[in-house]
Amino acid sequence: MENIIKEILQKENMLFEKITKATSGFTNLVYFVDDRFVIKMSKDDTIKKKLDKETSIYQNIQLPCIPTFLANGNLQDYQYLIISKLNGKSLYSIWHTLSKAERQSCIKQIASILKEFNKQDYNFLSEEYKDLDWVEYLSKELKTKSLTLTEMGFNTQDIDAFVSNDLFNLFNNNTFGLVYNDAHFDNFIYDNGKLSLIDFDRVRVCPIDYEMLIFKTMCDNPSKFASEEDEENIKDEDYLGIYEQFKAEYPEIFQDKNVETRIAVYQFNYLIGQAIKCKDIEWINELLKNFNK
Closest by CA position to 268, among listed 282, 254, 288, 247: 288
pLDDT digits (tens, 9 = 90+) for 247-270: 999 999 999 999 999 999 999 999
pLDDT digits (tens, 9 = 90+) for 34-44: 989 999 999 98
CA 60/CA 54 separation, integer angstroms: 10
- Could you tell me which residues come within 8 angstroms of residue 128 by beta carbon, excluding any fewer than 6 positions away? none
DSSP run (H or E) holding 71:
strand 69-75
CATH 3.90.1200.10 given to domain 89-292: yes
Domain regions of the chain by residue span: 2-84, 89-292
* Partners of 41 in beta bridges: 80
28: confidence class by pLDDT, cuts 50, 70, 90 = low
Handedness of CA 92, 244, 117, 113 (dihedral sign): negative
pTM attached to this predicted model: 0.94
- In the predicted model, what is the mean pLDDT of residues 110-121? 98
Look up the CATH number of domain 2-84. 3.30.200.20
pLDDT digits (tens, 9 = 90+) for 153-210: 999 999 999 999 999 999 999 999 999 999 999 999 999 999 999 999 999 999 999 9
Count of CB atoms situated within 10 Å of the CB of 286: 13
Count of CB atoms situated within 10 Å of the CB of 273: 14
